[in-house]
């Protein structure tokens, strides 16, 4: 495994793309965030806890609904699959027992597509939930990686790198970073390669978490400054 090779966009094999987080950019939802991995970016909006249809009501906890919209065209089965996984993950993370008989709706919209969109969606959802002040047990960070035909691990792959890869792995971790909350790997790979992917993603998710922390700190700081001015 070589980690020194340079990728077409000038990155090292184990380097993630430049991150960008904007919180609270939408006014109508209760919380919103945009999470960008360079040219990949996803917009998330959170509504709730709010009123729910009697049909979907759960007496002991809040119901979580996730809607994922692709950049172009109508949504399809792939988007249902993303929704299923995001919902399953956040059902275990959001403290739903604090808001019984309510609905928490997470809207995800791809705004730029250049590989690893699902990881961006997980991260955007976390930031938007935080922005909405929805209580959570932990925060969720996600990183993807691919293995190319040479057996090289490519962290945070671009669209082209995924297309030519032999396997593609998505991991989502909680802040303890012990094991993955969510994992989806597909292609052809050995258990050893799987472990290597897990390790590299686990290590680099800490970068995402620290970036999330900085973003929240910055946002709070500006809010405090504004209050002081007033």
Nearer to another protein, 176 or 230 (CB): 176
Nearer to another protein, 166 or 219 (CB): 166
Nearer to another protein, 36 or 82 (CB): 82
Residue 174 CB, shortest distance to another protein, in Å, is 6
Contact residues toward another protein (CB under 8 A) are 74-78, 80-81, 83-85, 88-89, 91-92, 168, 171, 173-174, 176, 178-191, 194-195, 198-199, 202
Nearer to another protein, 194 or 219 (CB): 194
Dihedral class, residue 35 (left if φ above 0, else alpha if ψ from -120 to 50, else beta): beta
CA 44 to CA 88: how far, in whole Å? 17
CB-side neighbour CA atoms (13 Å) of 222:
7
Length of the chain: 230
CA 17 to CA 217: how far, in whole Å? 21
Nearer to another protein, 26 or 64 (CB): 64
Q: Which helix (H) or strand (E) holds 207?
A: helix 191-229
Residue 92 CB, shortest distance to another protein, in Å, is 3
Residue 204 CB, shortest distance to another protein, in Å, is 15
- Residue 47's alpha-carbon distances to 26, 102, 136, 187, in angstroms, are 11, 11, 15, 36
Q: Reduced to 3 states, what is the DSSP secondary structure of residue 51?
A: coil
Residue 229 CB, shortest distance to another protein, in Å, is 43
Residue 101 CB, shortest distance to another protein, in Å, is 19
């Amino acid at each position: 495994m070589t980690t020194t090779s340079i990728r077409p966009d000038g990155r090292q094999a184990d380097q993630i793309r430049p991150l960008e987080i904007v919180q609270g950019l939408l006014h109508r939802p209760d919380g919103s965030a945009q999470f960008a991995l360079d040219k990949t970016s996803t917009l998330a909006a959170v509504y709730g806890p709010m009123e729910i249809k009697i049909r979907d009501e759960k007496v002991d906890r809040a119901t979580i609904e996730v809607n994922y919209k692709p950049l172009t065209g109508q949504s399809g089965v792939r988007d249902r699959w993303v929704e299923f996984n995001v919902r399953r993950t956040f059902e275990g993370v959001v403290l739903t027992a604090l808001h019984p008989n309510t609905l928490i709706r997470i809207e995800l919209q791809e705004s730029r597509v250049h590989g690893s969109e699902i990881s961006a969606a997980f991260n955007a959802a976390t930031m938007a939930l935080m922005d909405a002040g929805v209580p959570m047990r932990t925060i969720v960070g996600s990183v993807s990686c691919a293995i190319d035909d040479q057996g090289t691990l490519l962290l945070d792959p671009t669209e082209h790198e995924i297309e030519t890869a032999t396997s593609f792995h998505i991991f989502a971790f909680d802040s303890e970073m012990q094991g993955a909350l969510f994992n989806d790997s597909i292609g052809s790979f050995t258990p050893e390669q799987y472990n290597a992917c897990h390790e590299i993603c686990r290590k680099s998710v800490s970068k995402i978490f620290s970036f999330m922390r900085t973003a929240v700190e910055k946002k709070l700081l500006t809010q405090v400054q504004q209050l002081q001015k007033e």
